[in-house]
A and B are shown apart, each in its own frame.
Chain A
Amino acid sequence: MSQAIMQSIKDYIMGEFLPGEDPAELTPTTPLISGGILDSIATLKLVMFVEETYGVNFEPHEVDKENFDTLDAIVTLLRSKISTVAP
């Protein structure tokens, strides 16, 4: 499941913020916020995409550099959310 989640978030970032980039350049550990790929508005858009796609809600304190700086970190946070809301 993690693979599918990661691919879908990666596709979103590639389409919205890295148009024309070679997908191989965006790895699970590429720094997104500290690497200047996502600015504050882009980060908020990504948060909204993930919330809407997976039906979760992030608390304000969760939306930070630590949780959203890499695809790996986003998937980890998202998985912890999905497992708490799952029946």
Chain B
Amino acid sequence: MNAPGGLHRYFTERARAAGSSTAAIEPGQGSITYAQLDHLSDRVRDRLVACGVQRGDRVGIYLPKSIDALAVMYGALKAGAAYVPVDAGAPSARCAYILQDCKVRVAFVDAAHAEKFDAEARPLGELPVVVTVAPAAGGQGVRGALDQADRIAEAPPAATVASRPSDLAYILYTSGSTGKPKGVMLSHDNAVSFVDWCSEVFEPTPSDRFSSHAPLHFDLSILDVHVCLKHGATLVLISDDLGKDALRLAQLIAGERITIWYSAPSILALLAQFGQLKRHDHRSLRHVLFAGEVFAVKHLRSLCEQWPGPRYFNLYGPTETNVCTYHEVVPPVPEDRTKPYPIGRVCSHLRSRVLDEHGADVPRGSEGELCIAGRGVMKGYWGLEEQTARGFHRDAEGTPWYRTGDVVVEDETGCYTYLGRRDRMVKRRGYRVELGEIEVGLYRHPRIREAAVVATTDADGGVAIHAFLSSREPKHPSLIEMKRFAAEQLPLYMLPDRYVWLDALPKTSTDKVDYQRLKGMT
């Protein structure tokens, strides 16, 4: 590993070398230098150690994207713990489940969610130590919470832990097919090998200004945060609300002079359509990176026309490996091109192969499942040994190859094209969505008798989610009621686009829901 001591060493070294540089900005609200963030995360470390956190423990981050959240992230790593970020905008029952599932010892929870978290987490087991953080810019929320705790009992200074490569650095929860999210365990070596690959390919410098568009529980944030802070660049934190608003985002990219942008294609498609990009000066942009789903070619073409300056990279990879293949799209996008761009060739720190359903390599040019091995591949799923075992193919030498579930075809240059999935998972706005998790959410409605969800692809390559339902009562719940109910149960990116009521769902001869027939009804 090129960062002895762990992922956080990259940041602490940079803080020592250039402490007065700006590490992160909350646009229009606050900012923090490397030295200040280093100091604040030291204080978080001290408090965590005082709370009994040891190497290998987990620390929950239930905070909106903020300098506060960055301080907790680095504080947890310095204490030798893995950080576990949750989506502060998701239903609190989901967040409580995640933090209790991996048994975080301490959770930093923002004041707006503290009460609900307590109510949801209590029935699930012993509560972690909760540090409540009041909303404040520039890291003042966490500082205030630490000051308050120090007034009761001061946290003595602790040493920063030199993590081993195999120690867990963070756990990211993704959608699970059983209806419960599952935790992907990533080690320091997983993270560092990925960060180093990014350094090689994107060559960041201290004068770069990275967007932080993806939420912190999304694996895109690993590039944003850790690559940016490794290189002494400035991270521009974009709040969830602002992140969905094409008009204000276009303004922000110009105002903050972003140089490296990274997001799911869906927001770039929104920017291309609704962002009125010509009204702004976006010449600072030098890289536009996108990942998480297929970028509809017509929107990519329009974006490249409006932003002719930057280099464009299509990055591909599941949370279990982070980015594992990449492809540079060189504008202009030809007028007659309708096929999405390939996901590209495998990254230099990883190896790839394409296997058939029996685990045998398929000849180049044939379809098969993309499998990945190497330093970037996860340790496994938290507490799910069987699923972990199923997730890997072991070759004759015992090397674990992560089975992505993605069906690809390799061309003669070693470049992969994505064809589809082997299972019921879809990608939406860059997020993984297990359709089974949506079904479980809809089933919680007391008047729903049956629920089945299917996904279809629209002409732009986007995913539409159709919910087929039957009701326990003759008058079924209204569409508005279902939409409101679903919004309380599920994260936004899982909400169905369409609800269809049937007297009863069609069944196969073995009395299972007939998904093929439902697909025919979309």
Contact = CB atoms under 8 A, between A and B. Distances in A.
Interface string B477-494: 011110110110000100
B245 interface: yes
A21 B481 CA distance: 10
A52 interface: no
B487 A63 contact: no
B462 to A, nearest CB: 10
B480 A44 contact: no
Interface in A49-69: 60-61, 63-65
Given A35-B487, A36-B487, A63 B481 contact: no
Interface string B71-112: 000000000000000000000000000000000000000000
B180 interface: no
Interface residues of B, number: 19
Contact of B484 (A36, A40, A41, A63): A36
Nearest to A22: B478
B481 A60 contact: no
Contacts of B221: none
B495 A36 contact: yes
Contacts of A20: 479
B506 to A, nearest CB: 21
A40 B480 contact: no
A44 B241 contact: no
A37 B247 contact: no
Given A60-B247, A65-B241, A30 B480 contact: yes
A25 B270 contact: no
A18 B241 contact: no
Interface string B489-508: 00010010000000000000
B487 A34 contact: yes
Nearest to A36: B487
B251 interface: yes
Contacts of A40: 244-245, 270
B480 A18 contact: yes
A51 to B, nearest CB: 11
Interface string B226-251: 00000000000000010011111001
A36 B483 contact: yes
Given A18-B479, A22-B478, A44 B487 contact: no
Given A35-B487, A36-B495, A39-B492, A25 B245 contact: no
Given A36-B492, A39-B495, A44-B246, A25 B479 contact: yes
Given A41-B270, A64-B241, A35 B480 contact: yes
Contacts of B487: 34-36
Contacts of B202: none
A3 to B, nearest CB: 21
A35 B483 CA distance: 7
Nearest to A30: B480
Contacts of A48: 274
Contacts of B241: 64-65
A31 interface: yes
Contacts of A41: 270
A21 to B, nearest CB: 4
Given A36-B495, A61-B248, A64-B241, A21 B478 contact: yes
Most interface-central of B248, B483, B487 (chain A CB within 10 A): B483
A63 B480 contact: no
A73 interface: no
A26 B247 contact: no
B494 to A, nearest CB: 10
A67 B39 CA distance: 40
Given A35-B484, A37-B484, 14 more contacts: A20-B479, A22-B478, A25-B480, A30-B480, A36-B483, A36-B484, A39-B495, A41-B270, A48-B274, A60-B245, A60-B247, A60-B248, A63-B245, A63-B248
25 contacts: A18-B479, A21-B478, A21-B479, A21-B480, A25-B479, A30-B480, A31-B484, A34-B487, A35-B484, A35-B487, A36-B483, A36-B484, A36-B486, A36-B492, A36-B495, A37-B483, A39-B492, A39-B495, A40-B270, A41-B270, A60-B245, A60-B248, A61-B248, A63-B247, A64-B241
Interface of A: 18, 20-22, 25-26, 30-31, 34-37, 39-41, 44, 48, 60-61, 63-65
Nearest first, the 8 closest Cβ-Cβ pairs linking A and B are A36-B487, A60-B247, A40-B244, A60-B248, A21-B479, A35-B484, A36-B483, A25-B478
